Amino acid sequence: MPDQKTDPQAIKSKLEVLIQRNPAYKEMCDFVGGLLLMTMGPDLDGASLDIAPQIDAARFTEGQPLLNRETLELDWSRTWDLAERLALAVEERPAGAGTGQVTANLRAQAKGGAGLLRAVLTSDYQALEQAAHEQGSQMQAVGLVMRLALRPQMLMAAETARQKHAINGWSCGHCPVCGSAPSLAELSGPDGKRALHCALCETSWPYPRLKCPFCEKQEPGAISYIKAEKEEGLQAELCAGCGQYIKTLDLRLLSGPLIPPLDDAATWHLDLIAQRHGSKQD
């Protein structure tokens, strides 16, 4: 059975669920879903990557991820080609005014493409913001293109890493495979067990309900829960200690599976609500 995160039919079914849940997101979901479908195919899945030698199991016991994002080597040429195709789709979007000439400027930076991709890979938001400014583009548009361009190879790299080394027992808030911060959390099962989902390689791992994944503190009353009106199963969990938040989907009330790029896009109103409540998260 194909992985639902990379199965086109599962993506299309998920889009239908999200749009039915909140029709106001139809345009956004169709747009992000269309980009996501562009990242799928046998020529994009990263099967040719030599990831095994880049896995460092010795770091794992010290709270370090299996892969080092600073030195991780991917097929930059193939990833950059995908980034250009995605950028062109962003430009052609009717509501895309203000995103700038993303494709033309990406092509002008082609020789440094790996640098811009690595900025997203390593969460170097300053470099990403500077690149967007130089392009006359929105940082969100450039970041979305780069993350989706990286997605096929990062999913394959993460799968290889998990096959080579079990991630059981991981207790940190950052991803056990690539070290990125989580973008979403889910609650599932009879007891509402919590799992975090990596923003980059989409690995999921269990994590305590009342513990902040960013500052990793677990203090009574530190977590507040922010919900949108008339939307059962969706909330943002805001930490009073560090001011950061994570969006959480309760899969006991919502249809799964959780597919990070789509569920993130379909819950952007939670970002706005959390930011109005004083979150420090970018």
pLDDT digits (tens, 9 = 90+) for 74-111: 998 889 889 888 888 887 776 544 444 555 555 555 44
Q: Are residues 56 and 153 in the same domain?
A: yes
User: 218: which DSSP letter?
Assistant: -
Split at pLDDT 50, 70, 90, the class of 209 is very high
- pLDDT exceeds 60 at position 282: no
- Max CA separation in the chain (angstroms): 53
- Which helix (H) or strand (E) element contains residue 150? helix 139-164
Q: Which residues pair with 195 in a beta bridge?
A: 186, 206
Based on the fold, state whether residues 189 and 264 are members of the same structural domain.
Answer: yes
φ/ψ (deg, to 5) at 47: -65, -25
* Choice between 7 and 108, residue whose per-residue pLDDT is larger: 7
Dihedral sign computed on CA atoms, order 28, 140, 122, 267: negative
Residue 204: domain span? 182-276
Nearest Cα to Cα of residue 178 among 194, 160, 198, 196: 198
Domain boundary among 130, 164, 198: 164
Q: For the chain, give me the number of helices (H) and strands (E)?
A: 10, 6
Domain tally, the chain: 2
Q: Average the pLDDT over 51-63 and give the result.
A: 90
Edge-to-edge, what's the strand order for the sheet holding 182-188?
A: 204-206, 193-198, 182-188, 245-250, 234-239, 223-226
- Residue 275 has a pLDDT of 86
Whether residues 97 and 187 fall in one domain? no
Pair (95, 186) in one structural domain: no
**Cα 222 from chain centroid?**
25
pLDDT, position 101: 55
Last residue of a domain, one of 107, 138, 164: 164
**Looking at the structure, do residues 158 and 186 belong to the same domain, yes or no?**
no
In a domain, 31, yes or no: no
Type of residue found at 118? R
Token pair 């009717």: residue? 94
pLDDT over 70 at 279, yes or no: no
What pLDDT is stored for residue 97 in this prediction?
40
**Residue 5 belongs to a domain:** no
267 is a domain residue? yes
- Do 268 and 195 lie in one domain? The reply is yes
- At 21-44, the pLDDT tens digits run 999 999 999 999 999 999 998 777
* 171 found inside a domain: no
- Could you tell me the pLDDT band of residue 204, with boundaries at 50, 70 and 90? very high
Average pLDDT over residues 57-61: 88
Same domain, 215 and 186: yes
Share of the chain above pLDDT 70, in %: 87
Q: Does residue 111 sit in helix, strand or coil?
A: helix
Q: State residue 229's pLDDT score.
A: 78
